[in-house]
Structure 1
Amino acid sequence: MRSFAVFSLAALATVATAIPHAVNHRHVFASSLAGRSIMDGKCSATDGNCEPGYCCSQYGYCGKTSDYCGTGCNPAFGSCDSAQASAAQYTSAPAQYTSAPAESKDHPPSTSFFTQVFTTTMTRASSSDVVYSTPSAAPVSSAAPVSSAAPVSSSDPVSSYAPVSSSAPVSSSAPTFTTSYAPAPTSTSTGSNSYKVYTGDGTTSAGWPSQDSWVDFDSMWSANMKLISISCTEFNQPNNSDQESEDVKSAIQSIASSSGVDPRFILAIMMQESKGCVRAPTTNYGVRNPGLMQSHDGTGTCNDGSVQNPCPSSSITQMIKDGATGTAAGDGLEQTLSEANCSDVSKYYKAARIYNSGSIAAGGDLGQGIATHCYSSDIANRLTGWVDAATTCNL
């Protein structure tokens, strides 16, 4: 989220090059959660390689079993010799996560570039597009595949989620542009698991995806379930139960309906921040960031030093609410959409960048500035289908 510290220009330049912004989401030198702790057990072009002797699975985790070293193993970031598979599954167990005092601002960055590699892209690529396809092997998951039904969009650029409530809340700090919602969004795209690097200001003229190229919510949810179902593994916590995952889906739809924030946008941000683990640890690098959305000092969490299993549906709903509509301490997606100060589809990509870093670079390029440079590109890809294909976004 956005930082409220005031720095001189010289000090800010020094800090920005040394460390991730203390209050933001998914920082440049990142880890599995919002870039606020040491990376543990992940591998990709952006996360770095596994420890020697470990395999990098198709989902971007390090381990030694056949699930990691067998089908879909990525030899670029670890070993892929299935013969070495052992009972050990992870490089190390994550340390206990608490809302401890902020770490020193001159801690060295990890070898990873930023934290998120899980995505699904639905690109209508030309031969010149930067596109990376997922391995052809089927994932080890029973999650339902993406729906083949191709809904139809009646408009291109404008947000179009219809709140059920007749009095959807509006940010009190909203600038000139207010959020206007049409009937529930639909899409003409079905999606495929690949990644395209987007740069620039988030507009369709700069090559960013139009809203009618987004996948529909149900297809997006189904595609991400294979990742959601194992999302707590990297935190050494019990994975979501079927009921907990269903509660997450219901919470997203409910909060989207009451707030007017597109449910696909909420889902994309949640996957970027926690990959849907209901027991995602609370991180604290100057600002406490709990829960599924790693919100700005929100109240919703099932892992704030002590773990709740099962995670109550009320806590799950609160986590989604904190991230989507904001907290007493900071903005959520509803506020950052207003702060984007525009009405075309770029407001989503800009709002994502603001949610990540608190601001957009002066030149308007969403891949510049502080925090995670690939954040908005990741969100655009998630909205168009990306789940876990490899990405070489190195902005």
Structure 2
Amino acid sequence: MKIFKNNSILIRGFMMVICFTFFTACEEGPNFRIQEYPEQTATGISHTSGYPGINVTITGTDFGTLKGAVKVYFGGILATNVVSCEDTKIVVQVPAAAISGKVSLQVWKHLNDSFAEFTVLPAPAITSVVSSNAINTVAFPGVDIVTINGINFGTDASKVAVSFNGTAATIQNIADNKITVTAPANYATGFVSITMGGLTVQGTPAIINPTAAGDITPYFLSNTGNFVSGGGFVSNTDAYSANRWGTLGAPWITNAGAKNKTNASSVKVGGFSKDGGNRLCFETWGDTPVVDGKVYQQTSMALPAGSYTVSFTYYSENHPTSSVYCVAATGDGLPSLANLNTALGYVGTWNSTPVGATAPNSATGATNPITAKFDFTVATSQKVSIGFLVNMAGAATKADYFIVGGMKLVKN
């Protein structure tokens, strides 16, 4: 019993030493600091009313610089985007679901439950953007009127700014659900937007400036095939049934001279074939010549004054006594071969296959076409006809063959 008692005393003493050491280690050392943040003071807000999505500025003191420590509530709804935080200024975006009422600010654990009131206004919205042009996504600068339809625009034009892809436009008329403007000069193709009370909203579809340099094919021409892969032209309703021949669909115009084939209904057709994927096509096998054949279309609108380039992909097995020209001409129609020099511009195509042969040809194969192009200029705004003037001699055996894969019109 004496031995056990002595051991017990030793154990209790050892435990007291451990506890003393532990608590001593937990005491605050010379480098230990408890950070106390001063209580923030909010003194004002930059706007007392506005739209969800706008930025407002809260002013005051002792905000710190850590955005993550800041919480702002609009009518009890937490803002999810604190844009910036400085010691005397906080910029925050009004949340989409904000409710009119008190504005509360919390920085770390310090809460100012109601330092300002904010009224949420019904936000403007654009439902459509429509040009007065026949193609309602195209607007000529200084000419076409563009109507912006929507809601909550108000009626004070001084409070609304309209922009065409960054270029300001002057408002002609404004109502709460409609704004009209004239397309501004030199605007870039893009979206129309309005800015009200610090909020910018964007409408669709994009509005196209047809006078701007670049590819303008979709706005002035149609049914022009696929320039990259070839084919894709659309035939007319007199299309082939049992054979491959037909005429090009609108807006292409095909004269009688170009119709050197007969379809399954015994109707004269020409200028189109489904050979190789629906192409603009001429062929004179079987003693069927083409004399001043014309396949063309007039631009859907007057081209603005300026310089243009027409380019197209094609394949040819034509011989030297035949010719195919791509032509641009004023008015509605193309000149005949004898008057070709009256055109605005033109380019001839490859025609070096010997008579009676199919090779050599203009490329390594019908699926590997080449590209040709020419330039023309219009001094004043006008419609222009663009198409092909074809003269192909017939032959008892192998004769001429010519296909176009796609066309493009570019404003320089």
Whether the TM-score (by the shorter chain) exceeds 0.5 is no
Q: Which has the higher contact order (CA 8 A, sep 6+)?
A: 1
Task: Identify, as 1 or 2, the structure richer in helix.
Answer: 1
Task: Identify, as 1 or 2, the structure richer in strand.
Answer: 2
Query: What TM-score results when the alignment is normalised by the length of structure 2?
Result: 0.24
Query: What TM-score results when the alignment is normalised by the length of structure 1?
Result: 0.25
Bigger radius of gyration: 2
